[in-house]
Amino acid sequence: MSENNHQNDPISSMHKKPKKAGGISSLTSTLKHIMQSQQPQTNVKSLLKANKNKGFDCPGCAWGDEKEGLLQFCENGAKAIAWESTSKVVDQAFFEQYSVSELMRQSDYWLEYQGRLTQPLRYNQETDHYQAISWQDSFALIAKHLHQLDSPDQAEFYTSGRASNEASFLYQLFGRMFGTNNFPDCSNMCHEASGVALNEAIGVGKGTVVLEDFDHADAIFVFGQNPGTNHPRMMNALRKSARNGGKIVSFNNLKEVALERFASPQDPLELLTPKATTISHAYFTPKLGGDMAAIRGMVKVILAKNSEAIEQGKAPLIDESFIAEHCKNFNEYCQVVNATSWQKIVEQSGLSKAEITQAAEIYLQSTKVICTWAMGITQHLHSVNTIQEIVNLQLLRGNIGKKGAGLCPVRGHSNVQGNRTMGINEKPTKAFIDAMSELVNQPLPYEKGHNVYHAINALLEKRSKVLICLGGNIAAAAPDTHQTHAALKNTTLNVQISTKLNRSHLLIGQDALILPCLGRTEIDMQQSGEQQITVEDTFSMVHASQGNVAPISTNLKSETSIVAHIADSTLNSRNFHNSLLDNKTTPKFIESSKNTAINWLALADDYTKIRELISQSITEFSDFNQQITQPGGFYLGNPAAELTWRTPENKALFSYQALPENIHAISTQQEPVKNQKIFTLQSLRSHDQYNTTIYGLNDRYRGIANERNVLFIHEKDARKLKFEENDLVDITSIWHDDQSRCVKGFKLCFYDIPQGNLAAYYPETNPLVPLDSVGDRSFTPTSKSIAVYLEKSTEQRIV
Ligand SMILES: Nc1nc2c(c(=O)[nH]1)N[C@H]1C(S)=C(S)[C@@H](COP(=O)(O)OP(=O)(O)OC[C@H]3O[C@@H](n4cnc5c(=O)[nH]c(N)nc54)[C@H](O)[C@@H]3O)O[C@H]1N2
Ligand SMILES: Nc1nc2c(c(=O)[nH]1)N[C@H]1C(S)=C(S)[C@@H](COP(=O)(O)OP(=O)(O)OC[C@H]3O[C@@H](n4cnc5c(=O)[nH]c(N)nc54)[C@H](O)[C@@H]3O)O[C@H]1N2
Ligand SMILES: [Mo]
């Protein structure tokens, strides 16, 4: 194709990107956010405790904790903490003032900015307002709705990855005792492809490295990830490695400044002078979805050079004994690599053969290599195959299971990995269900339940009726906003367990409840005293977390306690005759699951008892209560890191798929848009947001101020369409159905992005992601490869 733009055309943008990331601007921003929270003293106290022993786990991201270092938080962790511990509250008066219809007209930013939720609320259809309800009545109401279902599979139990191990363990146990495996969760939209790919290839769905490995790696390949914004503590590891001679190689669709140059706020020289550390030794900008082709190209170079070496009587460049002892399907893989043409590789990756060769040479010069990746890899149609290509690359030279080398999917939410370990999984293994059934002395269901994709479809078709969300904001996070909203509006009951007001509270079918919970930073006092919760980071380290500030309201409950109360009122027969339950007889599926083995409320009084249940039922957690007393927590271990492959063949598997035909799931011959230029759009995060939570309207590292409806475009692409920078455009996506998916009034910003590709922020662009456009085998919305076309905007902005 003629559009490869690896030649780095100069960009004449009016938006000025900073020359480095981190440094003083990072500290200034941290202070600004702490002051704006209107609780500066409390927040400073909190920050000093973040990620420390006897402190709380930073709700910012899932990166691991360093053993040394004065401060264990980063700019964006500080924002998350300050955002949670604001002094602003949304109280009774607020809900009297605004009807739900009025709130619906406000922006996502405005909704959350109003402050913390402080009391349980129920929607009143007659007045269209939320009004106060007691905790007891809330729990009875949930039980009533659940009992009225024809089948337990009509309920959906969503989780967002911030929930603790204790809360999520109880939640899955409750859902399963109620009778379903419907556990849609945020990771279905996030790292699902990593779990699927790694499970198939190496027999475990988690990364194989620990934080310390970063100190020993010769090279770190960072694929499709923006750590400067989303995992700022990872920048310390990259900076340290770069300063010690490690080679960082970035593959990113955009030039992200933190991956170019980073100044540590903890280094006085870098803090106060223009000095910074060069992070990336080499930086490649593949086309969206082009990474599989790029890696295939690297392997092609490696195999060719290996043959050359052997012909010349030199030592082979691949690790033949590792492949022979540990792997299967190597020959099949070599055949597929040979059959892949350079033409296809260059066309699909958008990188030249010279660039790919350079990357392969760095790989060959390094004995210990870590590959990390995040959403730029996982949110495509062929993400599972791409991740398996990363695995293939690592297997070639035995870069799994040795110090300083391995696979590192960098998780998002701070406990999303722990949620999975605790059983938040719509397709649990038989062994897991057997263990849980034994624990509760009751047979639990084995049948696959719903992920996010299936849940939204089931709600749309009214096959599901009750939606309970343990955190998160499914209305804004899920794709195809209009469809998702319609799905939520079909609920007979929508229950949101949340800290702050968001869009998901406003999409109501018949009945709705908002149940306000404690945040991570707050003291969790139960009958047996102050409680600790536990979380698991991206390196499979499990540790305790304990809040240290007084809760914003005395009428909050912990997530764990809320889940325990819902379970108690739904499953314990002594509650069945509560006044709210009318005269309706208890359905058969509840009768049979009526259970006294679990004393839910006693568990909520003392979380050590929940950890005892976890110890009894999940192998890696024996002596759980004892284990978390160790400073820094304990390591769950990873069989693949020990060269034990839990695949059916007991080997690590080379995967041998051809490159995808198309990057997005549409045919470019599509009728109605034949004459339009089709772009591929990625939706990503700005520096001032946490997923659907918008902290502010700036994106400092990309030079954007006070604007969210921005569309990053290559200058030449814009000129071809006769657009100027700052012009407003409407973006329409292309899909096989007759639905119209369009967002309007996006301001063009010229950027260093491959031609044919576009980037804009999520969640604003979620209306463009077709519900059915999901990754192969992962069902993850393809939020990084949306086929779109552009038109001059019909929307006028008021300036
Ligand atoms: N401050 C902050 N921290 C966060 C979050 C947050 O919103 N704010 N969210 C948390 C969560 S849940 C998650 S999952 C993580 C997300 O962390 P990231 O994965 O870093 O998040 P995104 O902003 O989606 O960035 C995707 C990156 O991949 C690049 N990219 C996109 N498509 C491609 C591609 O096809 N190929 C390549 N090579 N690159 C591509 C983009 O240019 C961008 O740099 O962060 C977590 N941490
Ligand atoms: N287009 C597009 N869509 C995407 C993505 C993308 O890159 N592009 N990324 C996807 C990814 S990676 C993810 S993980 C999902 C995120 O999906 P979610 O996890 O569902 O969304 P969040 O925005 O993280 O949830 C924010 C809400 O969580 C609640 N909350 C905050 N703290 C707490 C707490 O401690 N307890 C409880 N109970 N509630 C709390 C607040 O009410 C807040 O409004 O979005 C996905 N959607
Ligand atoms: Mo995520």
**pLDDT number for residue 592:** 54
User: Chain-wide mean pLDDT for the chain?
Assistant: 91
**Could you tell me the pLDDT band of residue 76, with boundaries at 50, 70 and 90?**
confident
**pLDDT number for residue 2:** 35
Whether the upstream peptide bond of residue 10 has omega within 30° of 0, thus cis, is no
* Domain 89-190+415-629 architecture: 3-Layer(aba) Sandwich (3.40)
How large is the average pLDDT for residues 381-399?
98
Please list every protein residue whose CB sits less than 6 Å from any atom of ligand 1: 60-61, 76, 190, 223-226, 229-231, 251-254, 256, 286, 288-289, 291, 374-376, 412-413, 682, 684-685, 689-691, 784
Ligand 2 mutation pick, 112, 513, 688, 692, max ligand atoms within 8 A of CB: 692
- The reply to whether 679-792 shares the fold of 192-413 is no
Ligand 1 atom nearest to CA at 379:
32
CATH number of 679-792: 2.40.40.20
Under 8 Å between Cβ of 238 and 249: no
Q: Which ligand is nearest to the CA of 685?
A: 1
Polymer length of the chain: 799
Cα distance between residue 775 and residue 385, in whole Å: 10
Centroid of ligand 3 to alpha carbon of 416 (angstroms): 8
Of 3.20.20.70, 3.40.50.300, 3.90.79.10, 3.40.228.10, the CATH number of 192-413 is 3.40.228.10
Query: By mean pLDDT, which of 137-151, 388-402, 784-798 is the weakest?
Result: 784-798
Beta-strand relationship, 728-733 and 742-750 = antiparallel
Cα distance between residue 559 and residue 171, in whole Å: 10
Cα distance between residue 358 and residue 387, in whole Å: 21
Ligand 1 mutation pick, 221, 253, 355, max ligand atoms within 8 A of CB: 253
**pLDDT number for residue 6:** 41
Cα distance between residue 631 and residue 240, in whole Å: 23
Whether pLDDT at 279 is above 70:
yes
Q: Which ligand is nearest to the CA of 160?
A: 2
Centroid of ligand 2 to alpha carbon of 502 (angstroms): 10
Output the residue whose Cα is nearest ligand 2's atom 25.
472
Sequence-ordered strand ranges (E) for 649-768: 652-653, 679-684, 689-690, 693-694, 710-713, 728-733, 742-750, 757-761
**pLDDT number for residue 298:** 98
Task: Give tens-digit pLDDT for 472-486.
Answer: 999 999 999 999 999
Domain residue ranges of the chain, discontinuous segments joined by +: 21-84, 89-190+415-629, 192-413, 679-792
Centroid of ligand 3 to alpha carbon of 378 (angstroms): 10
Under 8 Å between Cβ of 5 and 252: no
Q: Which ligand is nearest to the CA of 257?
A: 1
Q: How far is CA 516 from the centre of its chain?
A: 23
Task: Give tens-digit pLDDT for 721-776.
Answer: 999 999 999 999 999 898 999 999 999 999 999 999 999 999 999 999 999 999 99
Q: What's the pTM?
A: 0.95
| Cα dihedral 96, 102, 106, 112 sign | positive
Under 8 Å between Cβ of 704 and 749: yes
